[in-house]
Amino acid sequence: MSRYPLALDLAGRRAVVIGGGAVAMRRAAALLEAGALVSVVAPAVLPELAALDVVVHQRPYRPGDLGGAWLAHAATNDPAVNAAVAAEAERSRIWCVRADDASASAAWTPAVTRHGDVTVAVTAGGDPRRSQQLRAAISLALADATLPLRPRRGASESSASESSASGTGERRGCADAADTATADAHRRGARSGGGAPMGSVALVGGGPGDPGLITVLGRRLLAEADVVVTDKLAPRGLLAEIDPDVEIVDAGKAPHAHNLTQDAINALIVSRALAGQRVVRLKGGDPFVFGRGGEEALACVRAGVPFQVVPGVTSAVAVPAYAGIPVTHRGLTQDFAVVSAHLDPSHPGATVDWESLARGPGTLVLMMAVAHLEQIAAELVKHGRSGATPVAVISDGTTPGQQVLTSTLGQVAQDAARRGIRPPAVVVIGEVVRLRDLLSAA
């Protein structure tokens, strides 16, 4: 016989757990999470269970212990006691879950996964292992956006969540930073003067190029977005997975060919959030590593827009790793420096201390250096770095088009020009480059 699924509001209502072991502890914790007033009855109670915000009656179960309860859990290791608890619950018209015998239980506890205001509860014919396996698969699909979480625009919070799964309207337990930011936006409600509910901005690091290197949280936020503002270096493969009704704004940000200025980008993400939209600012690498994410975050702060930062896998470390080059290695170097090298060292606005870098960290990782590679190499050699120092130039790192050039500091500019190396590229300078041949041969 099929069971009738139901989400219960237990906030402020009494629930009783009979039992003091590990199963009872899990049940009590879940009830507390739902806001129930929990009493525990058992001759012996685990210290971790007693430490919860529950009322403990350390004695055997006796008739009448379920008085005033809305829900009971029979979770002892004695079937006779569990049967007696279930019988009292039946007489008192209290729903009771038996942990030891699903077939004799008036109610079942499903395997549950929560993602923000979406709750998915799974039952599988009373087979807890099967329920848990299904729950795990659904949880992963929700987390990586294989199953969409994006609510319908204009729907209420509860009806939107029900369109994907069972909506609880609550944000607790498994809610993470993404859920909290969105909840904060909704709680702020209408703007002063009464307008659309406040939206939010997520500054998402897309990683170095391979779409698989975005974080699970970043992928999920993309699936929930109303507007995605993307950079040229953001993984374009991710955009193909976005719902067709999501607006995609290409901010460009290619060298010397910006589609939008930084001020225009700041104004765009703020205005869309103020209009009640969920905005994802998708950036290559990490938003706070040469990504101007700090400026965008400050623009949100000044406008009173809720925002969050979702770190990304930075190209400075990931691209060398994909090329078989660890930026640190025991016995070779224990430090490295990451440098924005988009300016010629002789440029009046250049602030990089090349003299210190020539004498300093064992490994140098240069971003945006291809255009001025000859001048940079000459500057490092002038200040003492050997022209024989190994160098790697990795273009289109982590993508199918990745190319790796290995050379020396004295020769790399000429070799890169001869190979026609173009941005985006990461330059690695140091003895760790020698490891590439060993690791590639493994």
Q: Is 231 labeled as catalytic in the residue annotation?
A: yes
CB neighbours of residue 66 within 10 Å:
24
Spatial separation of the C-alpha atoms in residues 177 and 183, rounded to whole Å? 10
Are the C-beta atoms of 34 and 11 separated by less than 8 Å?
A: yes
Local structure of 147: helix, strand or coil: coil
Helix intervals (H) in 97-145: 128-143
**Tokens 């201390």 sit at which residue?**
353
Q: Is 245 labeled as catalytic in the residue annotation?
A: no
- Among residues 117, 210, 226, 253, which one is catalytic? 253
Spatial separation of the C-alpha atoms in residues 289 and 317, rounded to whole Å? 11
Are the C-beta atoms of 230 and 249 separated by less than 8 Å?
A: yes
Checking DSSP bridges between strand 55-58 and strand 37-42, what pairing results, if any? parallel
Could you give the angle at which helices 293-303 and 262-274 cross, rounded to 10 degrees?
Answer: 40
Spatial separation of the C-alpha atoms in residues 354 and 226, rounded to whole Å? 44
Peptide bond into 424 cis (omega under 30): yes
Q: What is the DSSP letter of 270?
A: H
Beta-bridge mates of residue 57: 41
Are the C-beta atoms of 201 and 222 separated by less than 8 Å?
A: no
Is the four-CA dihedral 55, 56, 57, 60 of positive or negative sign? positive
Task: Look at residues 407, 375, 405, 378 and name the one whose alpha carbon lies nearest to residue 390.
Answer: 407
- Among residues 210, 226, 231, 286, which one is catalytic? 231
Q: Rounded to 5, what percent of the chain is helix, strand, coil? A: 35, 20, 45
Task: Look at residues 269, 174, 290 and name the one whose alpha carbon lies nearest to residue 227.
Answer: 269
Spatial separation of the C-alpha atoms in residues 108 and 339, rounded to whole Å? 58
Provide the CA 422 distance to its chain's centre, in angstroms.
Answer: 32
Supply 11's token pair.
């906030």
Active site residues: 231, 253
